[in-house]
Amino acid sequence: MEASSSAAAVAAAPAFASNPARARAGTFGSVVGSFFRQLLTLTWRELTAYFFSPMAYVILTPLLLFTGYIFFISFREASQQAGALEMRHFISLFNFLGMFVAPLLTMRLLAEEKKSGTFEMLVTAPVSDVGIVLSKYIASVLLWIFFLLPGAVYVWILKKFGANPEYGSILCNYVGLILLVGVFLAEGILFSAFTGNQIVAGISSFIALFLLYLVGYVKPNSNWAGVDWNEVFKFMSLFNHYQNFEKGVYDTRDIVYFASLIVFFLFLAVKVVESRRWR
């Protein structure tokens, strides 16, 4: 009787209980699923925080007015001179706008949490440090993409007035722009993780971005230690890597460069958050 009841219990056990590999796979799947659910929840929380605060509207309104004005002036001049308005030159304006917008979007993400006291609640909640940093980054990138959406209206205007916009080239420009500003946002989150003061985080982030911009203009005429430093500084410049996208060319080296910087800055931000968790 005991033997039969034991056999029945074994038969009723989950199929993967007798298979350690399947058990590990099931555990891994549940952990990954839990991580992505938390990530989605935190990302939605950050997005709603943007739109329920004046920040998104304070940035979006001047941005739309400025880009709309520049587009109108450029379009009028191109029409008067019987020339073609190249969208790539117009889109390239967002490079420099991104240097100002990214610090504004990211300066509050972690600094405000510390100032308001909610950071301690966040790091003691059952969420990973990677999830905290990644959710804030994804939310800021999605908001930046939202800012870029009105650009589709400008393409439609060009098409409406008889122009032939090169959609492939325009898309390539936007992909490059998202990657470039994605680096700006990741760097901004890192500086926001360092301090509890939003202003300090924003100013520090902008100074760092400005220095990265100046790197492209450094042209040393020396081959010290057998290294062509001119090429080194050229490779380090973010905007030099964006130029191929501006020409409508996808280069895997540029994509890997931007992706590596994003991962690097986010990794450092996670480490800063981890260090504060144990203080």
Number of domains observed in the structure of the chain: 1
Instruction: Report if residue 117 sits inside a domain.
Output: yes
Average pLDDT of the residues of the chain: 76
Q: Which two tokens stand for residue 135?
A: 């959710």
Instruction: Report if residue 254 sits inside a domain.
Output: yes
What is the reported pLDDT for 196? 76
What is the reported pLDDT for 186? 94
What is the band of 5 on the pLDDT scale with cuts at 50, 70, 90?
very low
Domain hosting residue 256, numbered range: 38-277
Q: Closest Cα partner for 107 from 184, 199, 182, 208?
A: 199
Who wins on pLDDT, 165 or 257?
257
Give me the residue label for tokens 């989150």. 189
Q: Which two tokens stand for residue 161?
A: 């007035």
What is the reported pLDDT for 183? 93
Who wins on pLDDT, 142 or 38?
142
Residue 166 backbone dihedrals phi, psi, to 5 degrees: -85, 100
For the stretch 155-189, pLDDT in tens is 787 777 766 777 788 888 889 889 999 999 999 99
Give me the residue label for tokens 């308001």. 116
For the stretch 96-107, pLDDT in tens is 888 888 888 888
Instruction: Report if residue 15 sits inside a domain.
Output: no
In the three-class reduction of DSSP (H, G, I as helix; E, B as strand; rest coil), residue 111 is classed as helix
* C-alpha distances in Å from residue 213, one per residue of 99, 124, 236: 9, 38, 10
Give me the residue label for tokens 């029409």. 79
User: Is the pTM for the entire model greater than 0.85?
Assistant: no
Instruction: Report if residue 122 sits inside a domain.
Output: yes
Integer Cα distance of 261 and 269 in angstroms: 12
What is the reported pLDDT for 117? 61
Instruction: Report if residue 23 sits inside a domain.
Output: no
Which of 67-76, 101-110, 145-154 has the least mean pLDDT?
67-76
Instruction: Report if residue 264 sits inside a domain.
Output: yes
The CA dihedral of 69, 71, 72, 77, to the nearest 10 degrees, is 130
Segment (H or E) for 170: helix 167-194
